[in-house]
Amino acid sequence: MKLLIIALFVGAVIALGSIAPTFGSAQLEATLEDATGKALAKMTYQRTIWIDYSDGGSLKNILAGKNITVVFSVDSSAVGMKELIQKINSSIASNDSDAYVSYMSLDYVALMTGRDDKMSIDYKIILRPVIENFVIRDYTDTSPALLDVDWRGFGASGPVEIYTPNDGIMEINLPISLFDKYTPEIAMQLKSSDASELLTKSIMNADGIRDQPIGNWHFLFDPTGIGVDAAQYGFQTGSVISKYTMGESSLREGIQTERTSEAMFTIDKAYSIKTFEASDNASLDVVGFAVRSEGFFGVTPTSPEGYATTSSEEFPAMVLYGMAGMAALGGVAFMLMSMRKLKKEKGHYAQTGIDPSQLTGVQTSSSSGGYQTVRGEAQVKGLEDYNQHKSYYDDKPQVEEKSETESTSTKGSMPKGWKPEK
């Protein structure tokens, strides 16, 4: 029993540890298909900055109540997007990959919210690039297709200026640029302080995804793509899907925690500034059965026969069956413990009293006129008769009885001996 409880506890820890954060400082989602030679990707970069002025000072007078929202969306035709694509392709090439971005759209959101005690600045950049030239070798009847995935940790360093219809030219990659544009009165003090390093760190950075080896990513094989419902997700009916994910908090990949940095700067007094970033995470969906290697996938249209029940090197059905088995064992253990507790309580709290076979029924009500009720009590055989200890009131008539010949009226009586005349 102790070993079972320990096993359940370890299983619970592993299950909880495998939960990935909803958003990270860099979050990649992509679908790869060797038949088209194009990968549709979505990369989200996020960062939050807090400036604390809870002790008052001139900074509170400047930032408290200041609310600024910058939102825009552009595509490859916008001024500055060509330069951004070049930066991203340079980032991909530096990772020894021949893939490149051929087209890309961009969504940008920045929020400056000045509260009474602090200001928060939230940055969010979403890139939707089309990746090409990632197919190293096409599939044949004798060999799998080879897909390059070394491009996965792409980003951009340094200033990135994009033309927007409402705000003109906006620098979007360096957090300090938002201060330059909307709070120039404190931007210089921030640049000349220790906070400068935090505020000039590129937002579009996915080194965490790049540096996590594919061998550490979790693999799930999904055969449901062969169903007709797969079409609504953009997959051709008859395809199987391989899903690779990273970012789980586990013993193998390490405990994923929020990354924070802090620095001080001075205007009229010392203030603190903090940056917050969640852990990076990524998900790659490959159309077909994908086997991973160092920096590429070997892909075949179908999985090896019996893979879902015989695989020992990957993460699919056997692990899921094992987890289901652990859950079943946990249910059995819970039932056994409950039964043992119930037996113990039954022995301790067993009901005691008189054996029902030693009881006899005794009538306890009297007739009322011509009506007899059916009230009664149980009495132990062999004890005193009920009549010896019944209530005094049981002997009293329940309804006052009157004689039909007795008259209580004093009115309308005839004289004694009176007889009606004939």
371 backbone dihedrals φ, ψ, rounded to 5°: -115, 130
Task: Please report, for residues 82, 125, 133, 158, 391, the alpha-carbon distance to residue 92 in angstroms, rounded to integers and kept in the order given.
Answer: 15, 18, 12, 16, 102
- Residue 16's pLDDT is what? 38
Give the phi and the psi of residue 249 in degrees, each rounded to 5: -85, 110
Q: How far is CA 278 from the centre of its chain?
A: 15
Q: How far apart are CA 190 and CA 172, in angstroms?
A: 18
Give yes or no for residue 97 having a pLDDT over 50.
yes
Distant-in-sequence, close-in-space partners of 89: CB < 8 Å, separation ≥ 6: 100, 101
Contact 139, 301 (CB under 8 A): yes
Three-state DSSP state, 377: strand
Residue 374 has pLDDT above 70, yes or no: no
Q: Is 345 exposed, middle or buried (0-12, 13-18, 19+ CB in 10 A)?
A: exposed
The secondary element (H helix, E strand) that includes residue 267 is none
What CA–CA distance (Å, rounded) separates 238 from 234?
Answer: 12
In this structure, are residues 275 and 198 in contact, taking their beta carbons and an 8 Å threshold? yes
The pairing of beta strand 100-114 with beta strand 118-132: antiparallel
Give me the percent of the chain exceeding a pLDDT of 70. 65
Q: Which of 263, 255, 295, 262 is nearest to 279 (CA)?
A: 255
Q: Are 238 and 229 in contact (CB under 8 A)?
A: no
d(CA 359, CA 384): 13
Average pLDDT over residues 293-317: 66
Looking at residues 197-211, what average pLDDT do you find?
93
Average pLDDT over residues 367-379: 58
Which range among 2-11, 48-57, 148-157 shows the weakest confidence by mean pLDDT? 2-11
Strand partners of residue 299: 145, 290
pLDDT-derived band at 307, boundaries 50, 70, 90: low
> Which residue from 220, 281, 277 is spatially nearest to 253, judged by alpha carbons?
281
Average per-residue pLDDT in the chain? 79
Q: Is the pTM of this model over 0.75?
A: no
DSSP 97-143: ---EEEEEEEEEEEEEEE-SSEEEEEEEEEEEEEEES-EEE---SSS
CA-to-CA distance for 189 and 121, rounded, in angstroms? Answer: 17
pLDDT value at 416 more than 70: no
> Which 8-state DSSP code applies to residue 74?
E
- Higher pLDDT, residue 52 or 310: 52
Tokens of 101: 């971005």
Give the model's pLDDT for residue 3: 45
Residue 138: is its pLDDT beyond 60? yes
Residue 15: per-residue pLDDT: 40
Specify the higher pLDDT residue, 22 or 195.
195
Question: pLDDT category, 353, cuts 50, 70, 90?
Answer: low
Q: What is the DSSP letter of 254?
A: B
Type of residue at 30: A
